[in-house]
Structure 1
């Protein structure tokens, strides 16, 4: 297994844990999740852009964003928009970010029909490299299955590939 391969496992039946190691210092990897000018380079799967990225990075603050498919080869997804809203709970720089992740609309209204999740991101310092651990807790196994069926694992794998590319450009 290469160092930067995405590892995933399910704990219980409603917690998804994702891990990947990045060849970049922890402060820099943390920065990628904090600054809009970084996020818009890598957040979202391949072929998706981040035209809207409004972030208030503090406990109680929110991040409202829009991912838009700009890849014509993605067929029916081309031109599609996916809106999300994050509400930050805890931030310990550069170690941890805890937030609730929601689907939303363009006005920032939370979509109650879609599963939300409680996310904890951990940034582990490994001698100049960084292990990123993403723990996503859903209300039920059914809610986790819903997002898995939407292709979330592939989406995160592609997103973290883009994160690695961006880190290589800026470090």
Structure 2
């Protein structure tokens, strides 16, 4: 991929940056509409099986992605549930939300660390968009917990899938 993910972990904050060869409005829509998210959210070999979205300040997105790739061994058949609770939305520039691990009923996990996320979408020349995702955790240890789970590789694959999805939509 030409537009690789740039990551920086410092203290309790993780910053992810990636440039997509697509207009800002389309990249923004890909994050804000359930019908888009189901095509690219999650690492390779995983599919969104539940996506209940109420995209507005105070609304939420309750989702599940499931490993459908038998070659992923013990991960095959595993489900990962999450719930994003939206705070601020400035279309098509910024989304602020808290991302939680959850269960199928939407009950938030008390054992896994949530992240407070600020996503910005910047228009670049040539019809490109720079996505900056700043995730803040309660502590450096909480951030390390998700890094140890392979979150960096997972988000890299997720953004690769987004890049492919955006290219197919243009």
Q: Scaled by the length of structure 1, what TM-score is found?
A: 0.97
CA displacement at 1:35 relative to structure 2 = 1.0
Q: RMSD of the TM alignment (CA)?
A: 0.8
1:18 equivalent in structure 2: 16
2:123 equivalent in structure 1: 125
State the alpha-carbon separation in 2 of the partners of residues 115 and 84 from structure 1: 12
State the alpha-carbon separation in 1 of the partners of residues 21 and 168 from structure 2: 12
1:167 equivalent in structure 2: 166
2:142 equivalent in structure 1: 143
2:101 equivalent in structure 1: 103
CA displacement at 1:91 relative to structure 2 = 0.3
1:29 and 2:33 correspond:
no
**Runs of at least 4 residues of structure 1 off by over 6 A?**
none
| Structure 1 runs not aligned, ≥5 long | none
CA displacement at 1:3 relative to structure 2 = 4.8
Aligned length: 169
| Structure 2 runs not aligned, ≥5 long | none
1:71 equivalent in structure 2: 69
Residue pair 1:3, 1:21 contacting (<8 A) in 2 also: no
Residue pair 1:115, 1:138 contacting (<8 A) in 2 also: yes
1:6 equivalent in structure 2: 5
1:158 equivalent in structure 2: 157
CA displacement at 1:112 relative to structure 2 = 1.1
State the alpha-carbon separation in 2 of the partners of residues 34 and 20 from structure 1: 18
Deviations 1:102-122 (A, max 9, x none): 000000000011000000110
State the alpha-carbon separation in 2 of the partners of residues 109 and 67 from structure 1: 16
State the alpha-carbon separation in 1 of the partners of residues 31 and 25 from structure 2: 10
State the alpha-carbon separation in 2 of the partners of residues 101 and 37 from structure 1: 19
State the alpha-carbon separation in 2 of the partners of residues 97 and 3 from structure 1: 25
